[in-house]
Amino acid sequence: MAFLRLTKRSKRNHGLASVPATPPRGEEHFSTKRTVGKNTYFLTGPEDSAVTVVFVHGFTLAATQWQYQTEEIAHRARCLLPDFRGHGQTPQYPVAECSVDGAADDVYAAITDANITGPIILVGHSLGGMVSFNLLRRYPKLRKQIRGMVLIATAIESFSGKGTPQLLKLPVADDIRNAMEISPEEAQKLRSEFAALIAPTLGVTMFKNSGMSPAVKLHAQLLNSTPIETYVGFLDDLEKHDELAAAQAVADIPAVVIVGDKDDVTPLAQAEKICELMPHAALQVIPQAGHMLPLENPAVVNKAIAHFIAQ
Q: State mean pLDDT over 88-117.
A: 96
Q: Name the DSSP class of 246.
A: G
In the chain, the percentage of residues whose pLDDT exceeds 90 is 57
What are the pLDDT digits (tens) for 246-301?
A: 999 999 999 999 999 988 888 899 999 999 999 999 999 999 888 889 988 999 99
Rg, Å, the chain Cα set? 18
Whole-prediction pTM value? Answer: 0.85
pLDDT tens across 3-14, in order? Answer: 343 333 344 443
Predicted confidence (pLDDT) at residue 164 exceeds the cutoff of 70: no
Q: Determine the residue type at 246.
A: A
**DSSP letters of 167-185?**
HT--HHHHHHHT-TTS-HH
> Would you state the CATH architecture of domain 2-310?
3-Layer(aba) Sandwich (3.40)
Q: How far is CA 274 from CA 150, 281, 283, 286, in A?
A: 12, 8, 9, 16
What pLDDT does residue 213 have? Answer: 64
pLDDT recorded at residue 238:
82
Length of the chain: 311
| Closest C-alpha to 182, from 193, 190, 174 | 190
Give residue 32's pLDDT band: very low, low, confident or very high (50, 70, 90).
Answer: very high
Give tens-digit pLDDT for 119-130: 999 999 999 999
